[in-house]
Amino acid sequence: MEHDIRLDIIDLDLGFKILEKFEDNWIYIKMVSHTSKGNSNCAYFKFKLKDFILYDDDIFFYGNEDEDMLYLNKSEIIQTECSPEEDEILFKMTSSDGIIEVFIKKYLPILNVRLDELTNPRKNIIITEGHTDWRHLKYALKKLKTNGMFESLDIGFFEPDKKTEINNNKLKTVRDYHALLENEYCKIFIFDRDADDINREYGDAEWLYHGNNVYSMLLPIPEHRKDTPYISIEHYYFDKDLFREDNNERRLYMVKEFDKITKKHLLIPNLYALDIHKKPNEIGIFDDRIMKYEEQGADFYKVAKDGKNIALSKTNFIKNIENGEFKGINVAAFSSVFTQIEDILRDYIQNKGGEIEISTGVYLKEYSTGLSALSLFAEVSEELLTLYKGTNLIAVKPVVLKNHNKLIIEIEALINEERHQIIQFPIDITPYLVDFIMKKNKNRFNRIELHLFSPNREISSSREILKDDISGTVLLRALNL
């Protein structure tokens, strides 16, 4: 079978391993159907990939919304192809009427979409300085989870591109702005410790609460940096990892390696840090303008003009960690960051910004507009949740158990012309619930939102239920009001 000239034919299992790296990235999907009659049809869609799940016969791709889903049958895949950069996979599949090509490519959405992820996230989120800090945290969290740590920590990251540079002052401005807004989920802003003005704001506090579910924190000082507390994210790595050379003999450097007057490296001859005057911090990191120049006694202008820059950029440093070129990187020191994040999330859950628990797993939140949201949280089996996410054909029925003073929300899904009961959700009938239903009867935009998750938290679904114009009346009748 012919293959796309841009791509290489690879083993199917290797294709799956590459796709695992697509998780938490935006993906662009193109499906091209070639019929036996010579006709072709195309479909395009894109979403941020939250879960990539392999079963014996099936492959599921899930995004944040229930409609963000792609399902493939493994047995129908007859050829797998991949780009040299491993940022695009092509599955060629048989169908009853020809061949279907499924292109799955990493995708960067436009700026407005990326900023919307920050303004309106669908989960608790971390926002950091720079365009690489979040990548270090994301990588470290994944590694720590494989070692059995922070397995229940479910949090996302704001992922800016290179053009969206956020220094500490900009991050502070964004933080203070979002603290003025109403935020449904927790936003945690993380600052480096290399700026005195930011450090003074915190004093002895480990983290600060700014209102409206907005928190901020300084990077905790890891034990191996206690004597040099002006740290940035890279200082969580031990020096043996921080100073690793790549295949081109490039690495990161520190201020303390150079003489501040001559700008020369203290040990390596003919090596200069041209920007040393810009970094007063002894452990400040250089990732540019470390110039190798063999001629003795040359002035700095000549070194800058004709020297060879041998510094490794911070972008390539984290890239080498992510792609495995730097093997065996020790991320143990990052545990102090995530321990502090867990403390913040516990505080967030306790406060919930006006949200109160009115029954087990049921939270009521009133907004400044006068409208309310009733959020239902429950665990269901992975099998049922997979079925539920795969269809929009659901039936919701409210039933009252008067003897137990419970309102039961029964959820069924119609799949392959068969009804499957997904959950029977019990809610205590309290004045809070009755008042909410009365409001919903007057305005359907008082919403009921059902959040389901699997036991291992790998699959989740959030969707609004009972959202039509008569839903309030149906609930009132069930309660005999």
Amino acid 111: pLDDT = 59
CATH number at residue 221: 3.40.50
Amino acid 112: pLDDT = 64
Strands 187-191 and 125-128: parallel
CATH number at residue 81: 2.70.180.10
Instruction: Judge whether 401 lies within some domain.
Output: yes
Domain boundary among 106, 129, 149: 106
55/199 same-domain check = no
Report the DSSP beta bridge partners of residue 94: 99
In the block, tokens 């840090």 appear at: 273
155/39 same-domain check = no
Q: How far apart are CA 61 and CA 428, in angstroms?
A: 36
| Nearest C-alpha neighbor of 87 from the set 15, 180, 160 | 15
The average confidence (pLDDT) of the chain is 90
What values do phi and psi take at 14, rounded to 5?
-65, -40
Contact by Cβ (8 Å): 441, 472? yes
376/445 same-domain check = yes
Higher-confidence position of 350 and 303: 303
Give the up-direction half-sphere exposure of residue 283: CA atoms within 13 A in the CB hemisphere.
22
Q: How far apart are CA 220 and CA 353, in angstroms?
A: 26
Domain boundary among 320, 349, 378: 349
Q: For 221-266, what is each residue's pLDDT tens digit? A: 999 999 999 999 999 999 999 999 999 999 999 999 999 999 999 9
| pLDDT band of 472, cuts 50, 70, 90 | very high
Instruction: Judge whether 55 lies within some domain.
Output: yes
> Based on the number of CB atoms within 10 Å of its own CB, is 185 exposed (0-12), middle (13-18) or buried (19 or more)?
middle
Strands 372-379 and 447-453: parallel
Contact by Cβ (8 Å): 411, 392? no
Using CA atoms in the order 143, 23, 179, 366, what is the torsion angle rounded to 10 degrees? Answer: -110
Pick from 47-56, 81-90, 186-195, 239-248: least confident: 47-56
Amino acid 366: pLDDT = 83
Amino acid 193: pLDDT = 95
Instruction: Judge whether 238 lies within some domain.
Output: no
| pLDDT band of 302, cuts 50, 70, 90 | confident
| pLDDT band of 163, cuts 50, 70, 90 | low
384/428 same-domain check = yes
Whether residue 164 has pLDDT greater than 70: no
| Nearest C-alpha neighbor of 159 from the set 285, 318, 288 | 318
Whether residue 9 has pLDDT greater than 90: yes
What values do phi and psi take at 52, rounded to 5?
-120, 115
Instruction: Judge whether 297 lies within some domain.
Output: no
DSSP 230-274: ---GGGGS-HHHHT---TTS-B-EEGGGB-TTT-BBSSSTTEEET
**How much is the CA Rg of the chain, to the nearest whole Å?**
27
Report the DSSP beta bridge partners of residue 104: 29, 89
Amino acid 416: pLDDT = 78
382/410 same-domain check = yes
Domain boundary among 349, 379, 398: 349
412/454 same-domain check = yes
Instruction: Judge whether 322 lies within some domain.
Output: no
Contact by Cβ (8 Å): 70, 100? no
C-alpha pair distances (Å), 142 with each of 135, 148, 156, 162, 339: 11, 10, 12, 22, 14
Task: State how many domains the chain has.
Answer: 3
64/126 same-domain check = no
Q: How far apart are CA 364 and CA 432, in angstroms?
A: 8
Instruction: Judge whether 193 lies within some domain.
Output: yes
67/155 same-domain check = no
78/168 same-domain check = no
Contacts of residue 199, defined as CB under 8 A and 6 or more positions apart, other chains included, come to 193, 218
What range does the domain containing 91 cover? 8-106
Q: How far apart are CA 463 and CA 443, in angstroms?
A: 19
93/171 same-domain check = no
Q: For 269-301, what is each residue's pLDDT tens digit? A: 999 999 999 898 999 999 999 999 988 777 888
Report the DSSP beta bridge partners of residue 103: 30, 90
Whether residue 353 has pLDDT greater than 60: no
In the block, tokens 């295949």 appear at: 247
156/221 same-domain check = yes
Q: How far apart are CA 250 and CA 271, in angstroms?
A: 12
Instruction: Judge whether 301 lies within some domain.
Output: no
Contact by Cβ (8 Å): 174, 127? yes
Instruction: Judge whether 319 lies within some domain.
Output: no
124/198 same-domain check = yes
Q: How far apart are CA 207 and CA 216, in angstroms?
A: 6
Q: How far apart are CA 292 and CA 311, in angstroms?
A: 10
Q: For 132-151, what is each residue's pLDDT tens digit? A: 999 999 999 999 999 999 98
Q: How far apart are CA 273 and CA 254, in angstroms?
A: 9
